[in-house]
Structure 1
Amino acid sequence: MWEVFIAENVVNDILKWLETQLQRNEGIKIDTIANKSGYSKWHLQRIFKDFKGCTLGEYVRKRRLLEAAKSLQEKDMSILDIALMYGFSSQATFTRIFKKHFNTTPAKFREHGELPDTRRFMSCENS
């Protein structure tokens, strides 16, 4: 019983920390998250997947994509700058991953894309 409570608190703390990092546009590395949590990377991944249904890496990628999509709509920045700002290694990588999740390119999304329902998009069942 206590293990479940503690693990749930760890996951909630991680989610809060991730949101802070995203708002600051700071890098998010799973090793850093593991160090902050006090758990090994492997153990942290297992705890996170048990509670959220997807890996920490999948969750982080979807959060970064959602923030990037918001930036495409709200900011007058190049697609490359947005890709780099959210931790993608290149515009090509960003475009490939973006298209997989949004079924359109970042450029077309910027013109007339609509943000998805956040809860549905972030659901790990859609990973």
Structure 2
Amino acid sequence: MRYKDIVSDIVRWIEENKFRTLKIYEIVDKSGFSRAHINRLFKERTHMSLGTYSRMRRLSASAVALRITNEPVKTISHSFGFDSTTSFIIAFKKQFDVTPGMFRIRKFWPFEKMTARYDLLETIRHLDYRIVDDVRYKPFLTTFCLEEILDNLSEGESYSILIGRSTINSRFIDNKNVGLSYSLCSREPLSNVKAKWLSINCNLKVNELGAFQEVIYAGLLPHIGITRNKGQDMLRLNKNGNCLTICEYLIPFVKYKQKN
């Protein structure tokens, strides 16, 4: 097995277990190598130690959770394996320069100090993304099932869909527990003022959207260090027969700084 595959397997296991504080010996045992060897190999590939990477992924995921759920800081702290709310607040402020509470309510949502999932880097290198200027369009039909919009679309036409948060499970487990709503937009703009968007070209089936959002929010946005603006993400999709194809994913943003 190639060393690259070994590291990717380890980081996927770290991701699956980011809801608790992993001990270094657990990660070493999972790798099947000596501690010195796997530490050296891991740092060569990720430029971080095992412990630092594990902690940074927990903090990065908790930062996303603060923005997409209404769960109390105490609950999020517990869900990501911190010993106490106090230790979580201290670690969070040290990394992001603000408390979890302030991070949640601030106008902009910065990804610059987050750590991207190492196992997603190869995927995001092949993403076709660019900056575009476009207006926001007026929503007129909202549903919890994207496929329900199908009957309102004409064959071969392109449509804009806004993504909103709708429901949240009673106990926070993972970002995937956040329910989403989808609003079909008319061709009438909310205003004539254009906003900046990060546009990501794609060719997705509707059931692939969740996995693609994981690549974006745990991979691409931390990797390029985007500062996300307020407002909903937007999809562009086409109707082809009885199928919906998502061809573009757009994120409102203020700025980004490509990381090394």
TM range (shorter): 0.7 to 0.9
Q: Which residue of 1 aligns with 2:94?
A: 100
Secondary structure of 1:77's aligned partner: coil
Match of 2:52 among 51, 58, 70: 58
For 2:21 and 2:98, how far apart are their aligned partners in 1? Answer: 25
In 1: Cα distance, 2:96 partner to 2:81 partner = 18
Residue 59 of structure 1: how far off its partner (Å): 0.7
Higher percent of residues as helix? 1
Alignment identity in percent? Answer: 33
Q: Are the counterparts in 2 of residues 70 and 115 from structure 1 also a CA contact under 8 Å?
A: no
Match of 2:34 among 20, 36, 40: 40
> Following the alignment from structure 2 to structure 1, what is the Cα–Cα distance between the partners of residues 97 and 75?
21
Aligned equivalents of 1:51 and 1:111: distance in 2?
Answer: 35
Deviations 1:62-116 (A, max 9, x none): 1000111111112222211111111111111111111111111101111125141
- Structure 2: unaligned runs, 5 residues or longer: 112-220, 226-258
Between 71-80 and 103-112, the greater mean CA deviation after superposition: 71-80
Q: Using the alignment, how far apart are the partners of 2:94 and 2:20 within structure 1?
A: 24
What secondary structure is seen at the aligned counterpart in 2 of 1:54?
coil
Query: How far apart are residue 43 of structure 1 and its match?
Result: 2.0
Could you tell me the TM-score, scaled by structure 2's length? 0.41
Larger Rg: 2
Partner in structure 1 of residue 237 of structure 2: none
How many residues of Structure 1 are paired with residues of Structure 2 in the alignment?
117
Q: Does 1:21 align with 2:125?
A: no
Q: Measure how far apart 1:30 and its partner are.
A: 2.2
Please list every run of at least 4 consecutive aligned residues from structure 1 whose deviation after the TM superposition is greater than 3 angstroms.
none
CA contact (8 A) 2:89 2:100 kept: yes
Name the counterpart of 1:118. 222
CA contact under 8 A between 2:21 and 2:82: conserved in structure 1? no
Distance 1:47 1:119 in 2: 21
Partner of 1:9: 5
Three-state SS of the structure 2 residue aligned to 1:87 is: coil
Structure that is richer in strand per residue: 2
Shift of 1:120: 5.1
- Unpaired segments ≥5 residues, structure 1: none
The residue that corresponds to 1:109 in the other structure is 103
Q: CA deviation at 1:27?
A: 4.9
